[in-house]
Structure formats: C-alpha cells, structure tokens
Amino acid sequence: MKGKCIVIGVTGSIAAYKACDIVSFLKKQGADVNVIMTRNALNFINPITFETLSGNKCLVDTFDRNFQFNVEHVSLAKRADLFVVAPASADFIAKAAAGIADDMLTTTFLASTCRKIVYPAMNTRMYDNPITQDNIKRLEHYGIDVEETDSGYLACGDTGRGKLAPVEDIEERIMLLAARDHDLDGKRVLISAGPTQEDIDPVRFITNHSTGRMGYALARAAALRGADVTLVSGPVSLKPPMGVRIINVRSAEQMFDEMTERSDQADIVIMTAAVADMRPEKCADEKIHKVTMPDSIRLASNPDILSYIGEHRKEGQIIVGFSMETEDLIENSRSKLERKHCDLIVANSLREKGAGFGCDTNVVTLITREETKELPIMGKDQVADRIFTFILDM
C-alpha cells in the first residue's frame, strides 16, 4: 500500500468505532490514510483516535481556521487513490446522491474522481426505506459502489439489514482495489489447491496432509495484482480469497475435469494440489467390494492433471507445477519439469524446517529450464507474490 492515498469518510453511526480498525490496518499496510469525519460522527468518536492511528490530521470542518482549509478538500480529492465511506449513514447517502456539498466530507467526496465505495450502516427501517434505496441506486448510477450491509442484531435492538459489512471484508476489498500495481490485469489465472479425497466406501476415504494454504495464497496474490482468478479447490477449511471464483471438488477425477475444462482459457495455470496418485478401484459388485476391504484395496491410477495440461498447452500459456521432495530436490524437480511439460516447478524440500504442509511459511526453489533460484524462508503470502513476480519476468 506504500504510496497509496486512501481517504476514509466516517459518518454519524454507532459503527463509527469500527473505522478505527480499518484505519489502523491500512496504516500498517503502508498506506497514506486520511480520515474525514462528519460533525455527527464526533458524537461517537474523537478525531484524536483517527489522528493517532493514521498519523495524519483528521478533517472535520471545511472552515477549520487552524488548517489550510482553503483548498484542502480539493487537494485531498486530487491525491486520493480510493475513497471509502464506512460507515455511511442514511443522511450521508442522501446528500451524496443529491450532490450536496455542505461539509468537509461531502465536499471532498463530490470533488474526487477516484474509485469510491460506500458501506452503509443504519437502522433496518431507515435502510429498507424506499427513499434510502432510491438514493443508493442513484449513487450506483453515478458509478459509486454501494456495498451490501450485513444482517443481524443492530445496536437499536432491531434485527435485520443495516449492519456495517464485516471489517475484514472492507479491508480485503480496499486491498484488492488499491494494494498493488495491477500488473496481472487482463490475465486469467487458474489454480488448483488442497488435497483430494478418494472414496474407499461411503464412509472411508484416502487423502493427504495438504491444507491448501499455498494455493489459496497464490489465488489471493493474483487477485491483488488484478488477475481474473479461478481456484479449483479440494476440501479445505480456508475462507476463499475475495474476488476469486471458487470451484469445489473432492476427487482427483473431479479436479481433472474442472481443471482441463478451464485450462484452455487460462494464461497461467498453477497446480499446487496434492493430488492422490491412486484411488480405490470401483467394483461393480458392491458386496465383493466391501468384503475385500480393507485387507486388499485394489488401486487404480488417477489421471496426471499437470501432465495433461502441459501436453495440451495453448500458445503463450505458462504452466507451473509444485514438487514436494524428501531427497534430491533439484534433480527430481527438474525431471518433473520435463515429464510434466511445465515452464516452472516450485520445489519444496519436505526435510527443510518451515517448508511444506501445515505451516504458514515455505522454503522454495524456483526451477525453469534456464534457471534455479532458491528463495529464503518466508510467509506463504510472500512466497506467492514472489512466484508471480518471477512468472512476469520469465
């Protein structure tokens, strides 16, 4: 977020205190955060809180004589990369929809030409009122994003729509829009993640230790850089990254179908999934199948998805595989690069501390036909980002 100017508008709503978390988060990400409060917001929170969290003066009144009030709203409007109003009261939405500019927030909002997002928060009846709904449509008509509210128990005792959207969702959306240069804009990225499950019978299945974290980190990194991302995921307990199309599968055969159906349209295909090489063979006679279990499970081979996609690659496509090795990391990974017709293999040594399944870090070596590049231990989000930087340089 370094070098990005984010303006956060805070209006008179009980949810105003939640804006503190957003400001603090963005500041930690390196953004230049500027908060503008309405006078009504002052009833809920003190500007000093925002000033301390953002390190910038919190603006309230257009006619603040202690400050360069003259063109402040215009200069901030010009600098802003993204303008977010959270929480946005019914009053603010009505004013903004009508083009009223009678305080610092509405004036700067009207003068800004950057992307604007409004997160409503108000009583259910106020939110559901057709006047508010018409005002929201009006803002959308002018190209302003108005996000859905959450539903639930509200501070006024009512239950229903009107609760501020979850703070993590607001933060993630801001990151998606402003966090990075969108150097993957227009690129379609297809990623597989997680384990596969192969049924032995209706109760038991064979699986592996994959948590899906590396694949999910890659999907998020690509989305942050502007790519159109599809994630084909085995069963994991991770929240799908925002802005990513997710397709859930269980078995290797399902993963094969979903990946190969989409791989033609992708510019970059990355297989991180720990695909089970074998599956219990289905027996026509269920009875025999049960009787023979579990002493002698007859196994059939699963399709090698990466090899298939590599063999059927389309022009200009980049195919990336992962390899997990316990010994001869480079040699075995190089052989996979050839065998599976990839452009890049991301190799993990399972012997290395902080690498592989189940941890938040990874230690990888990037292997192409021309180059072998070892990266130091780092978080999986960082590894994911480095992989895309490497791919873009290839």
The residues assigned a catalytic role are 156
Is 323 among the residues that bind ligand CTP (CB under 6 A)? yes
117 close to 80: Cβ distance less than 8 angstroms: no
The correct pick among 77, 306, 366, 367 for binding ligand CTP (CB under 6 A) is 306
Is 273 among the residues that bind ligand CTP (CB under 6 A)? yes
53 close to 23: Cβ distance less than 8 angstroms: yes
- Is 81 buried (19+), middle (13-18) or exposed (0-12) by CB count in 10 A? middle
Q: How far apart are CA 10 and CA 58, in angstroms?
A: 10
356 DSSP assignment: S
CA 254 to chain centre: 24
Parallel/antiparallel/unpaired status of strands 5-10 and 32-37: parallel
108 or 349: CB nearest ligand CTP: 349
Residue that is written with structure tokens 């997680």 in the block: 194
76 or 191: CB nearest ligand CTP: 191
Q: How far apart are CA 309 and CA 12, in angstroms?
A: 54
148 or 277: CB nearest ligand CTP: 277
CB of 336 to ligand CTP, least distance (A): 6
Is 165 among the residues that bind ligand CTP (CB under 6 A)? no
Binding mask 15-54 for ligand CTP (x = CB under 6 A): ----------------------------------------
Is 324 among the residues that bind ligand CTP (CB under 6 A)? yes
**Alpha helix locations (H) across the chain?**
18-28, 47-54, 69-79, 90-98, 104-111, 124-128, 130-141, 167-178, 213-224, 252-263, 286-292, 305-311, 329-339, 380-393
Neighbours of 100 (CB within 10 A): 15
234 close to 191: Cβ distance less than 8 angstroms: no
Is 329 among the residues that bind ligand CTP (CB under 6 A)? no
Stretch touching ligand CTP by CB under 6 A, among 54-62, 102-110, 197-205, 272-280: 272-280
177 or 324: CB nearest ligand CTP: 324
CA distances from 339 to 193, 206, 313, 336, 346 (A): 21, 26, 14, 5, 15
Which structure tokens are listed for 335? Answer: 């052989």
CB of 373 to ligand CTP, least distance (A): 18
Stretch touching ligand CTP by CB under 6 A, among 116-124, 157-165, 317-325, 352-360: 317-325
Is 241 among the residues that bind ligand CTP (CB under 6 A)? no
CB of 204 to ligand CTP, least distance (A): 20
The correct pick among 61, 304, 341, 378 for binding ligand CTP (CB under 6 A) is 304
Which structure tokens are listed for 273? Answer: 């999934």
CB of 247 to ligand CTP, least distance (A): 16
97 or 274: CB nearest ligand CTP: 274
193 or 223: CB nearest ligand CTP: 193
CA 288 to chain centre: 47
The correct pick among 322, 343, 349, 365 for binding ligand CTP (CB under 6 A) is 322
The correct pick among 210, 302, 317, 349 for binding ligand CTP (CB under 6 A) is 302
Q: How far apart are CA 135 and CA 22, in angstroms?
A: 25
5 or 305: CB nearest ligand CTP: 305
Q: Which residues pair with 352 in a beta bridge?
A: none
CB of 342 to ligand CTP, least distance (A): 8
Q: Where does this chain bind ligand CTP (CB under 6 A)?
A: 252, 271, 273, 275, 277, 302, 304-306, 321-324, 336, 340
